[in-house]
Amino acid sequence: VIPLSLLTHTKIIDCIIWVKLSKTGQVIRDTTYEFQNQSSGTFSILQTSPDKYLIASYTMIDSNFWEIWLFHTDSTFKKIDEKIISLDTNSVSQFAVKIQESGNILIYGILLTPHTPAPKCYSFICELSPTFDILQYKIFTDHQVMFQPSLLRKTEDNGYYFFLIDYHGTTSRYNEAILNLDNSFSILNIGGVPLWVAGYPNSQWISSDKFILTGRIYGIGNENDVGVAGLIMDTNFSLYHNLYIGDHDTVEWQGLYSNLDFINSDSIFIGGTHNMCPYEFCNTTCWYSLTNVDSALNMRWEKFYGDHADYTLYGLKATKDGGCLLYGTVYDSTMNNERD
């Protein structure tokens, strides 16, 4: 199932289109959703049962003010229920969603506060019941962020690790900070990440006491020395293994929505864009890049996909057959400036 945003109707708005494809890429079904003829978009879809899906979306309520829009559908894409989630006077910028074993829904991301002359970007976590009632939420006003955070449930189910971009340490550079939270989202302590890793964090457990964290990493003295970092750390935030992906004279950028996934921890997929060009509209050849590593971050192989166009990776998904699905955009300046 693929989320898209399109322009539609006599009033120009963004709407949501869900497309169900066969294994060979044939369209089986598609449905369009919108909220009260307002612009809408989507961040994720989660299957909550064999015939029920949670669609995590956003919609514009007032001019330039965005709120979270959640709804369930059945397997025929028929809408079952829906609710707008308002977090005071804050506009949602981006977010991700997880379903807990209890069935409760966790939403976490970035809010824009109504400060003037410019809004401030703060991280937040919100816990909802399966029927979309707010159980608890917290805005981390001491932690301004730049990119979508990553949230990892502790293996003992007694809290979370919240990875975000924050000021940490004795210098003024941005790098990853790890907020160690209890179940009520209270901060127990704050840890930093080695090697000045910063940007687009993704995290997953590889064992009961170690996790992998991916992020963007900058070289020193060369603006084009931008790579993708992989770190293996324990729950005391000690570093065990690290990996730099990319060439030191080329920008290697992570998948914009997701860049890390695996089913088997000895076959970990890390994805990005090789020779990344800003804004995805460049007369430059860029490639999807995919790296496969083991649980100690030893590289098994690295592959590149694309040809004579600007390919930008948005995300990846490990598949049960041992492979990986890549998705993103492609812009070709030689084909009427088409972007797909």
* SS3 assignment, position 339: strand
User: pLDDT for 204-259, tens place per residue?
Assistant: 999 999 999 998 887 655 656 788 999 999 999 999 999 999 887 888 888 988 99
Q: Which pLDDT score, from 0 to 100, does residue 39 have?
A: 77
Q: Is it the case that residue 142 has pLDDT exceeding 90?
A: no
Q: Which pLDDT score, from 0 to 100, does residue 238 have?
A: 92
Which residues, 6 or more positions from 325, have their beta carbon under 8 angstroms from its beta carbon?
Answer: 316, 317, 318, 319
228/198 Cα distance (integer angstroms): 10
Q: Comparing 193-202, 230-239, 304-313, which segment has the lowest mean pLDDT?
A: 193-202
Confidence of residue 198 (pLDDT cuts 50, 70, 90): confident
User: pLDDT for 21-64, tens place per residue?
Assistant: 887 878 888 888 877 777 777 778 888 999 999 999 888 877 67
220/268 Cα distance (integer angstroms): 28
Q: Is it the case that residue 152 has pLDDT exceeding 90?
A: yes
Q: Which pLDDT score, from 0 to 100, does residue 166 have?
A: 57
On average, the pLDDT of the chain sits at 85
Share of residues in the chain with pLDDT > 90 (%): 48
Residue 332 identity: D
Q: What is the DSSP letter of 90?
A: P
Residue 117 preceded by cis peptide, ω within 30: yes
Q: Is it the case that residue 167 has pLDDT exceeding 70?
A: no
Displacement of CA 285 from its chain's centroid (Å): 24
Residues 260-274, mean pLDDT to the nearest whole number: 95
163/324 Cα distance (integer angstroms): 24
**pTM for the full predicted model:** 0.87
Q: Which pLDDT score, from 0 to 100, does residue 171 have?
A: 46
Displacement of CA 21 from its chain's centroid (Å): 23
35/110 Cα distance (integer angstroms): 22
User: pLDDT for 272-293, tens place per residue?
Assistant: 999 988 767 788 889 999 999 9
Q: Is it the case that residue 6 has pLDDT exceeding 60?
A: no
Q: Is it the case that residue 161 has pLDDT exceeding 80?
A: yes
Q: Which pLDDT score, from 0 to 100, does residue 274 have?
A: 92
Q: Which pLDDT score, from 0 to 100, does residue 158 have?
A: 93
Q: Which pLDDT score, from 0 to 100, does residue 224 have?
A: 62
Q: Which pLDDT score, from 0 to 100, does residue 8 have?
A: 41
Q: Which pLDDT score, from 0 to 100, does residue 73 have?
A: 92
Q: Which pLDDT score, from 0 to 100, does residue 93 have?
A: 87
Share of residues in the chain with pLDDT > 70 (%): 90
Q: Which pLDDT score, from 0 to 100, does residue 307 have?
A: 81
Q: Which pLDDT score, from 0 to 100, does residue 175 have?
A: 58
Confidence of residue 129 (pLDDT cuts 50, 70, 90): very high
